[in-house]
Amino acid sequence: MPAVSSSSPSIQEANPLDLMEQIVNGYEWAFDRRNDHEMAAEAPGKWCDYGLYFSWSQEIAAMQFTCTFDLKTPANRRRSLYELIALANDRLWIGHFSLDLDFGMLVFRHAVLLRGGTMLAAESMEDMIDIALTECERFYPAFQFTLWGGKTPAEALEAAMLDCAGEA
């Protein structure tokens, strides 16, 4: 039961995926609006192309956003990968990394509650995408070092987080 009643229009009347579709289209990324509750897009990155997935739940007035990257995760390296995910998540302010066990794929996840007639501003939606892509790009080398480079999660994270001075 809500603690405070509100006379503002219900979020049920607005679908944030309508605005997200405009934003993704503005980036000129390929996308597919599957239905009123789902949208998928593909965004280019430095290390790989990222799969973006937006899901709107009218029942709980929430939008879930995931960003996946094509990085094979062999079963024998998953223990180290889980450790690295925990270390990486400790450095994030927004969202978190996880492993989709059905597909063995790394995923960056974030959700936004929109109860009470609140609509996300276009700038907030753009920030949500930007943060996800930035964090995926930032941690991609650490995931590679752990999965394929023989580094421990701590070593991989330290190597990937080096801030280079100057330009080559």
**Over 80: is that where the pLDDT of 127 sits?**
yes
Structure confidence at residue 122 as a pLDDT band (50, 70, 90):
confident
Choose between 164 and 109: higher pLDDT: 109
Structure confidence at residue 163 (pLDDT): 59
**Percentage of the chain modeled with pLDDT above 70:** 86
Structure confidence at residue 1 (pLDDT): 42
**Over 50: is that where the pLDDT of 102 sits?**
yes
Structure confidence at residue 51 (pLDDT): 96
CA dist., res. 89 & res. 93, Å (int):
8
In the beta sheet, which residues pair with residue 98?
107
Structure confidence at residue 26 (pLDDT): 94
Encode pLDDT of 29-79 as tens digits.
999 998 999 999 999 999 999 999 999 998 888 999 999 988 878 888 889
Domain positions in the chain are: 11-75+93-137
Fold for 11-75+93-137, please state it: Yope Regulator; Chain: A, (3.30.1460)
In the beta sheet, which residues pair with residue 57?
62
Residues 6+ apart with CB under 8 A from 81: 73, 99, 106, 143, 146, 147, 153
